[in-house]
Structure 1
């Protein structure tokens, strides 16, 4: 037993020990050769005894521990620091009683003098610089306490007991410890052991002080953990639902039949316009947008399963809402459902106007009046209407084809689409160059010849021969007809008729510019709307010398002749066929 604690003391360290002079918190060693203030003996540093392992335990071992106070701004516990031998007091706990060199047993609060008198308390110097100078002495012979004032720093604590500066108190509760996620934080404060040091974590219990926290035994952290768990469940549940939804959609798209209505539809009718060149998918989109079919895929599937599915033409169709895809396809293939106006090759404008009136359910003549009023705004080319005697400004520009024409549409809209189609067809050719090549005056005359070819010919071969007949009769060297065409079709256009039995007296008495029996050259403008075949034949006629022709059967069979004698034989053949 030693005087300083329970258990035997230890041997002093030898100066050659590698750890000799190690400057820990438990004590700073003087340099080798430095003498103690007590008998000039060399100081020795002793290992910490079991009773000195904790700061509080040291205090208990000494009774009332002498508080060594330091100035944290000045005093550094450094291995190289030296102390004034007069102030440095070091004690050998095992040999203290036997040394007898003025060293007295440690008494309560100070050093005894052998007589039981209490010696004054000797603190460490406040300033290391004073270790080598004279220390100030207060009243009564005591040195002043540098840490006893209000403005002094608190005395330092051992490294093992130092704490981080507390953060300022606020009304905001930061929740769980900053170093750990709220979801993975432990239970409430009841899980902590009594006396366990938490450091900054003690802020979790500030609710006991009225700062708004839950305090010990509260349910704040458990509530947060429950909320976090619920959030995770919601997220996972939403993810599983999303995966299930997309999985279902994938199955529906790949394996399930396309959504489709059942039956032939409701009583509600709609008009669907199919653009030129549209195929199955585009048609399906138009039908779905109008509410006719339920899905595009259903219509595409029905079209693929129908051998006539690809025969749907551009135009307007009157259909019903909510039809099965198969029923909608069948109705579109039926001409009765088509809300279109059809312009046939060679058809005159007066016939087209009448058809538009019927499709749009307008009064008779409404479309013709609109054409006469609005023809300049419908997109005609610059070379159109180059003759003041033209009777119909849109003649030759209502290009043959099928066009949407349903109730509610304006006639100008339908006509504009036809003119646009004519511009596209005529724009494929350099008509000005062709006009010069064919000894014609303008592109309009090319269209005029094409209208004559279309009106008089029946087949492709007829069209080319008929074109040669026109050019040969227009030649200045023509002595057979003297540059007169003498076409019945022009006179019938003038009269708005289709009569092949015209008396010579009637013909010869009419001097209208469109009467090619009495007027030389071409009529002022086209007499109908030529098709593409007739237009191509006009620009590529035969060169066989044809100048006469006769429809020997009165309708379909047209025969050609190079001389007037041959023409007379063909005319007799026609008269015989007409008599029968």
Structure 2
């Protein structure tokens, strides 16, 4: 309901009031100074039939629809205006002077004298009596115009109504929320529906109902306050905890154990290519370190921390991160099998047996029985003269080998690494470019280069020697490689002092002094440097080589005459 008028309140209608006399506007001016019903229950009045009237016929006045419900209207609906000519009054003048002046009328005509509007004194019981009107007299009065809707109800048909009851009741605590007051909406609704009439047309007051339930309301209010306090207390504790954790994660030192750990040992396997964070996660899962961040920090602070390799490590539980780094850098703690470039398989098998705590020969037996299931590439030769099908495929590196693991699992890791490396260098295509039949022969060349060469520069020259001696046009050695390493492989020895009688009397397929071409298969496990040299040899015409010091210094020659000088140098250095 729109608040209309700037008065301080409303008073009962007085028949003697000149503004409501027979000579007035039928109550038209009364609304200018009275308080609106804003804040109370909206008053809805049934629409009454209107008497048709024209602007030229002012015989019926319209009752003000904005009047207070407290006012009484003794005037009859359709009150006649003054018979002396007041009907000629222009309603637009009324709209203009509606908020400014009081219009008085008498039996002799109407006066244009302007009088200040006198507001009615406020009703002390009305909490809204002191408010200024939102619109007041500044609004034009559309009363009895086509804009006025709905038409007013005749006073004669209205019954006296008590002061409207509002839903708002501040109560003794100046307005309690329903949650704290513990009010029961269903009970209130029941009271509103069934409560007895108090004699004034209204229902039993809220104060009466609340008075009956005051004690219960306070009890429930106390419980509600306790619940709220617990909720806020728990929320504050949660925020404090997570805030502390956030601070610790971002700015605090990482949690860490102290000391060198307990007597309980545990084996931790570190995969190839693992980062410091990955290593830390595995150590934490095994109970070695307390946090990943502590290990990462300790590893980064250690000058050799980045050199931790893949493998299995025998560590202690609840170690400080720094102690864990130190132990992992100590070879004694590593439960790994180290495959070095050029090493033969028989040596690798023995190392695996030792690490796994198995009887000597166990891993070799497994290799002979299960080599087909370990993942060898399809281009591996099935030559029956091959002494070990896995030779050349246990790629150099560090592999986990701790007690409880099976030998085939360790071997499979090594074969998988070899496959990855051989695919990286595309051995199948490179073999055809180098005049070889397949990738298997290229691996065999790489194993010869690894066995005979001493340095990276030696490897490329050694690879050229192999390819030049394999050529059908070779008249220097007639396609004989004449490598001591192949003869020693067949014998299972590493003897550099071999007599011509021993060499010439042995017809083993691996004896390249008596057998042309390559041996049946690799004679060891070549490393990456030897593999790269086999793929990309020099092209300088080398066909001879001699380790002139008997150990590390290898010299190369292109002619037989140069070879003889190198041989004499070797004999002088070794005492032959």
Q: Determine which of 563, 570, 573 is the counterpart of 2:559.
A: 563
Post-superposition offset of 1:334: 0.7
Return closer, same or farther for 1:434/1:215 CA change in 2, 3 Å cut-off: same
Indicate the residue corresponding to 1:62 in structure 2: none
Cα 1:80–1:353 shift into 2, 3 Å? closer
Q: Displacement, 1:10?
A: 6.8
Q: What is the match of residue 499 of structure 1? A: 495
Deviations 1:6-65 (A, max 9, x none): x9977883165232856597556143569xxxxxxxxxxxxxxxxxx9xxxxxxxxxxxx
Q: Distance in 2 between matches of 1:328 and 1:234?
A: 45
Number of aligned positions between the proteins: 442
| Aligned CA distance change for structure 1 residues 30 and 473 (closer, same or farther; 3 Å) | closer
State the distance in 1 between where 2:153 and 2:309 align. Answer: 105
Q: What is the DSSP-based 3-state SS (H/G/I as helix, E as strand, rest coil) of the residue aligned with 1:391?
A: coil
Q: Deviations over 1:205-235 (max 9, x none)?
A: 77xxxxxxx9715532112211221122112
Task: State the Cα distance separating 1:549 from its structure 2 match.
Answer: 1.5
Match of 2:449 among 446, 449, 453: 453
Report the secondary structure of 1:427's partner residue: helix
Gaps of 5+ in 2: 1-13, 29-60, 65-71, 82-122, 124-149, 167-174, 188-197
Larger radius of gyration: 1
Task: Provide the residue aligned with 2:137 in structure 1.
Answer: none
Q: Which moved more, 1:522-531 or 1:383-392?
A: 383-392
- Of 500, 504, 510, the residue aligned with 1:508 is 504
**Equivalent in the alignment of 1:528:** 524
Mapped contact 1:490–1:527 kept (Cα < 8 A): yes
- Residue 505 of structure 1, CA deviation: 2.8
Q: How does 1:206-285 map to 2 (within 5 A)?
A: 216=212, 219-285=215-281
CA shift digits 1:397-428 (9 cap, x unpaired): 11101111111111111111111111111111
Q: Taking structure 2 as the reference length, what is the TM-score of the superposition?
A: 0.69
1:176 is matched with none
Partner Cα distance (2:201, 2:387) in 1: 107
Name 2:76's counterpart in structure 1.
Answer: 29
The structure with higher relative contact order (CA 8 Å, sep 6+) is 2
CA contact 1:182–1:225 (8 Å) conserved in 2? no
1:435 paired to 2:482: no
Residue 420 (structure 1) aligned with residue 416 (structure 2) = yes
Q: Deviations over 1:519-542 (max 9, x none)?
A: 111112111110111111111212
Contact 1:29 1:79 (8 Å CA) reproduced: no
The answer for the alignment partner of 2:316 in structure 1 is 320
1:160 is matched with 162
Is residue 17 of structure 1 aligned with residue 29 of structure 2?
no
Moved more, 368-377 or 286-295: 368-377
Alignment of 1:54-203 (within 5 A): 158-160=160-162, 181-183=177-179, 185=181
Residue aligned with 1:317, SS: strand
Alpha-carbon separation, structure 1, partners of 2:402 and 2:485: 32
CA distance in 2, matches of 1:197, 1:484: 132
Aligned residue in 1 for 2:36: none
Shift in alpha-carbon separation, 1:366–1:23, aligned structure 2, 3 A = same
SS at match of 1:271: strand
Cα offset for 1:447?
Answer: 0.7
Conserved 8 A contact 1:23-1:29: no
Change (3 A) 1:460 1:216: same
Q: Secondary structure at the match of 2:235?
A: helix
SS at match of 2:502: helix
Q: TM-score, normalised by structure 1?
A: 0.68
Matching residue within 322, 331, 335 for 1:335: 331
String of CA shifts for 1:478-526, please: whole Å, max 9, x gaps.
1121111111111111111111222333322322222211211111211
Among 366, 372, 388, the residue aligned to 1:370: 366
Partner SS state of residue 554, structure 1:
coil
Deviations 1:230-255 (A, max 9, x none): 12211221222123213322332344
Report the Cα offset of residue 307 of structure 1.
Answer: 2.0
Moved more, 376-385 or 399-408: 376-385
RMSD: 3.7
